[in-house]
Amino acid sequence: MATTNAASTVRELIREHYSALTQAERKFANALLDNYPAAGLASITIVASNVGVSSPTVARMVKKLGFKGYPEFHKALLSELEAKGVGPTKRRDNWSSEAPQEHLLNRFSQAVTNNLQQTFAHIDTERFDQATRQLADTEKRLYIVGGRITQALADYAFTHFQAVRPGVTHMTSSSGTWPHYVLDMEPGDTLLIFDVRRYETNLLRLTEIVKKRGAQIVLFTDQWGSPISTLADLTFHCRVEIPSGWDSNVATMMLLETMIASVQEQRWPDARDRYERLDELFDKTHFFRKFT
């Protein structure tokens, strides 16, 4: 199995082929998804024993996923694990070493288009609907936070969700202020969090604290998955690789905008009333230019 930008992660392959797996194979698949990718990083004998299935069961499952055998499956997991910690310099080197001769514009557009297709192809509609219902629930507060790179996504999410519904709090990127926000969190409140590689330790710690307070966690992350995935109630994996030293937020932004649109529709006409009142306030401050 080739390891390219277009290649599916092992997690995605399991979900694609899950219906074709036997009960014993699903037992291993579920164990791997619950402890991903660590549960698949040992030898086939050990991983099978840890889950309580036979080695042949594991071997059959990995072949159903499209791998030639367990060694290739194991190598794919190791590659994903390595990719989680890759910095800008290494990312750029990985792309430039295999770069075709076509113009960068073409390579960029192809990579971004692939990211969008791969991301949306693997979004579970039921989990998407569950997330948007949660984000639209004004009986509970919504908190939004991002990291060093993803703070821009958090800013965007706050601007739109705060216009659509009341009770939205934008947590700053400074971890020193987070206790002030957590102080007022109650069970059932939602934390919308953005975390991509190389994954921020302070965001993980925040999630651990918030989880203990009974809050619901909705996570946006990349295809490899933030460590926060093990704590999140709902996790959405978005493709991020592009021919650059940096990762792309295009697929993540598209999914976020889709969720914003869904929450807006669920809250209409209340959202329309908020829009109209917001516009009245903007008119009073003369924030926007008038052309008529």
Q: Does domain 124-284 match CATH 3.30.460.80?
A: no
Are 10-120 and 124-284 in the same CATH fold?
A: no
User: Nearest-5° angle of CA 183, CA 185, CA 186?
Assistant: 130
Task: Domain ranges for the chain, please list them.
Answer: 10-120, 124-284
**221/6 Cα distance (integer angstroms):** 17
- pLDDT tens-place values along the chain, 292 residues long: 433 345 789 998 998 899 999 999 999 999 998 889 889 999 999 999 999 999 999 999 999 999 999 999 999 999 888 888 776 666 666 555 565 667 888 888 889 999 999 999 999 999 999 999 999 999 999 999 999 999 999 999 999 999 999 999 999 988 899 999 999 999 999 999 999 998 999 999 999 999 999 999 999 999 999 999 999 999 999 999 988 888 999 999 999 999 999 999 999 999 999 999 999 999 999 888 888 7
Taken in order 247, 153, 223, 36, the sign of the CA dihedral is positive
Q: Tell me the CATH number of domain 10-120, given options 1.20.1250.20, 1.10.1740.10, 3.30.70.260, 1.10.10.10.
A: 1.10.10.10
* 222, β-bridge pairs: 238
Rounded Cα–Cα distance for residues 256 and 250 (Å): 10
Tell me the backbone φ, ψ of residue 195, rounded to 5 degrees: -150, 120
Best CA proximity match to 156, nearest among 140, 145, 148: 145
